[in-house]
């Protein structure tokens, strides 16, 4: 073989390597699920106390892990997973409604969230593996809090809940709200290449609302986002999708909720996840979309969020769960 032919083979090999890097999500095999359910109510409470012990210094008082309990194992435990750059306070008003219905409720803080310093760079350390471990921990705890377990997550918390729905047989119901499987500003074909590149580059932080900067959001939310953290949330979503291609979801029932007026996440990506679950044989899967004319914003849950209409949203979410 002459030098021109060798050069051509090398060029083709390099192009194939670049194509594989660009088109395949990297590192999905590192993301795994390990179940270690609490043996009973007392152990579950102790494990919550261990989470809260880590939050004694440097955290916003409204952002620590919350447990609303009736003092014994309930017929149902509800786990609520807040969105990226928010904290447990986002879900607490809805959590109280579940508590008033007789449920034990856990609202646990996501890794690297809830710091009193809203401009902390710590959030950039968020990893898909940590989100998967978080999902295991909250489902494990909930096993001791209720005879049945319902898990509900928003946005990045929705992706975390989807991962649990795919992998944790201890889940009775999973509700995935406005999940961040993709972003509206990024074409679907560019999502994987961009995710792979962002994970290699130095991190960068961007204001959610550049015109307001640190004044944006609530006092307990981060006003900036880390590009690398968003890439890690996407990576967990792709891992969930990959697992769905091999077996049905472990959760008994799944509700996927999107918002037609959502300007942040790609609803089509949520639709692809739901379609993958259906193709895998999901027995109880429901898909609901809040209509465009309601004008709802991405954060459907926090009553203090801009454009909040929780008086419309909460009853619908409760209705969807009851139908399941």
Domains of the chain in start order, with CATH, are 50-323 (3.40.50.1820)
Residue indicated by tokens 């074409």:
187
Q: How many CB atoms lie within 10 A of CB 87?
A: 27
Per-residue pLDDT band for 23 (boundaries 50, 70, 90) equals low
Per-residue confidence (pLDDT) for residue 22, from 0 to 100 = 59
Q: How far is Cα of residue 232 from the mean position of the Cα atoms in its chain?
A: 11
- Rg, C-alpha atoms of the chain: 20
Q: If you average pLDDT over every residue of the chain, what do you get?
A: 93
DSSP-derived secondary structure letter, 115: B
What does the pLDDT look like over 235-267, one tens digit per residue?
A: 999 999 999 999 999 999 999 999 999 999 999
For residue 205, what are the β-bridge partners?
226
Residue 90 tokens, joined: 């986002």
Residue 208 tokens, joined: 């959610």
Q: How many CB atoms lie within 10 A of CB 68?
A: 18
- Calpha distance 55→51 (Å, rounded): 7
Q: Which residues contact 48 (CB under 8 A, 6 or more apart)?
A: 65, 67, 106, 108, 141
What does the pLDDT look like over 135-192, one tens digit per residue?
A: 999 999 999 999 999 999 999 999 999 999 999 999 999 999 999 999 999 999 999 9
DSSP-derived secondary structure letter, 56: S
- For residue 64, report the phi and psi dihedrals to the nearest 5 degrees: -85, 160
Per-residue confidence (pLDDT) for residue 283, from 0 to 100 = 86
DSSP-derived secondary structure letter, 83: P
Q: How many CB atoms lie within 10 A of CB 20?
A: 10
Per-residue confidence (pLDDT) for residue 75, from 0 to 100 = 98
pLDDT at 34 over 90: yes
Sort 103 into a burial class: Cβ within 10 Å, 0-12 / 13-18 / 19+: buried
Q: What is the biggest distance separating any 2 CA atoms in the chain, rounded to whole angstroms?
A: 79
- Calpha distance 234→256 (Å, rounded): 17
Inter-residue contact 146 to 75 (CB < 8 Å) = yes
% of the chain residues with pLDDT over 70: 93
- For residue 259, report the phi and psi dihedrals to the nearest 5 degrees: -130, 115
Measure Cα distances from 89 to 53, 64, 80, 94, 216 in Å.
18, 8, 10, 10, 16
pLDDT at 69 over 60: yes
pLDDT at 15 over 90: no
- Calpha distance 45→168 (Å, rounded): 20
- Calpha distance 31→284 (Å, rounded): 25
């Amino acid at each position: 073989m002459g030098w021109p032919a060798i050069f051509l083979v090398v060029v083709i090999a390099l192009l194939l390597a670049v194509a594989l890097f660009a088109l395949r999500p990297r590192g999905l095999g590192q993301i795994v699920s390990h179940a270690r359910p609490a043996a009973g109510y007392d152990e579950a409470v102790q494990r919550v106390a261990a989470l809260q012990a880590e939050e004694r210094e440097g955290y916003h008082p409204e952002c620590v892990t919350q447990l609303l309990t009736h003092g014994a194992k309930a017929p149902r435990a509800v786990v609520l997973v807040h969105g990226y750059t928010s904290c447990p306070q986002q879900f607490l008003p809805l959590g109280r409604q579940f508590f008033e219905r007789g449920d034990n409720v856990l609202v646990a803080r996501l890794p690297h969230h809830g710091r009193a310093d809203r401009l902390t760079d710590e959030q950039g350390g968020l990893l898909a593996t940590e989100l998967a471990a978080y999902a295991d921990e909250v489902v494990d705890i909930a096993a001791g809090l209720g005879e049945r377990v319902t898990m509900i997550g928003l946005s990045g918390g929705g992706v975390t809940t989807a991962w649990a729905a795919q992998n944790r047989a201890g889940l009775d119901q999973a509700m995935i709200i406005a999940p961040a499987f993709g972003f509206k500003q990024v074409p679907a074909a560019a999502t994987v290449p961009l995710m792979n590149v962002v994970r290699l580059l130095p991190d960068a932080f961007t204001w959610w609302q550049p015109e307001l900067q640190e004044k944006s959001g609530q006092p307990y939310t981060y006003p900036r986002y880390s590009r690398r953290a968003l890439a890690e949330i996407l990576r967990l979503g792709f891992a969930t999708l990959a697992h769905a291609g091999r077996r049905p979801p472990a959760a008994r029932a799944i509700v996927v909720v999107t918002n037609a007026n959502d300007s942040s996440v790609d609803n089509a990506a949520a639709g692809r996840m739901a379609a993958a679950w259906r193709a895998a044989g999901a027995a109880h899967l429901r898909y609901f979309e809040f209509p465009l004319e309601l004008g709802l914003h991405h954060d459907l849950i926090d009553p203090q969020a801009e454009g909040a209409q929780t008086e419309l949203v909460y009853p619908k979410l409760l209705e969807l769960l009851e139908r399941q």
